[in-house]
Amino acid sequence: MLFGTAAAGLTLLVGAIGGLLVPADAREAVWVGAVIAFVVQIVLFVGLFVVAFARHPFLAHMLGIVGRFAALAMLAFIWVPLADLPAAPLLFSAVSVLFLTTLMEPLVLFRRAEKS
């Protein structure tokens, strides 16, 4: 719950700041990239850290990195051409959300470990 709330806040922050920095016609791409990255991150975090590898956080983190790279590759090579959105704002916002939430993962895991 803590991770999802913090990730949602970071996603909103990236979308808002990114929306201010790009031309009006690229704002949709910023939000699409941020929201897709948020969904990917939540699915990977819950799937790997909570369900599949709860007792092996290092393995879950490494598989999460592979999953994030795969998601970015699919985003770049499949989604961007199909959606006909500007690639740079979409990918930059997606990478920003994934990067910030990846940095946040250990903090959440340490806090969870302290409680148990």
Average pLDDT, the chain: 90
Structure confidence by residue, pLDDT tens digits, 36-92: 999 999 999 989 888 888 788 888 889 999 999 999 999 999 989 998 899 999 999
User: Which string of b and e fits 24-48 if b means at least 16 CB within 10 Å?
Assistant: eebbbbbbbbbbbbbebbbebbeeb
pLDDT at position 113 is 66
pTM score? 0.90
Among the ranges given (35-39, 48-52, 101-105, 108-112), the one the predictor scored with the smallest mean pLDDT: 108-112
pLDDT at position 31 is 96
pLDDT at position 91 is 95
